[in-house]
Amino acid sequence: MPISDRDDINHRELARIVGITAVAVLKGGRFSARQQKRIDQIIDRAHERETAKRRNNQ
């Protein structure tokens, strides 16, 4: 279930993103390329999943 109608990310995915961000902060405050790629993957999968749900509900 998404956090709001405008966001595709659910609570579990948000927790994963916050965890990645926390590690980045501890390591100097910048995302590595790998961390950024991981966040992008989470967001892309969430967007695809929610788009498919919206299509099926119409």
Cα distance between residue 48 and residue 7, in whole Å: 12
Is 52 contained in some domain? Answer: yes
Is 11 contained in some domain? Answer: no
Cα distance between residue 32 and residue 29, in whole Å: 10
15-49: per-residue pLDDT in tens? Answer: 999 999 999 999 999 999 999 999 999 999 999 99
Domain span including residue 49: 30-58
Q: Are 51 and 3 in contact (CB under 8 A)?
A: no
Residues 6+ apart with CB under 8 A from 17: 9, 39, 42
pLDDT band at 3 (very low <50, low <70, confident <90, very high): low
Is 3 contained in some domain? Answer: no
SS3 8: coil
Per the structure, the count of domains in the chain is: 1
Cα distance between residue 34 and residue 38, in whole Å: 6
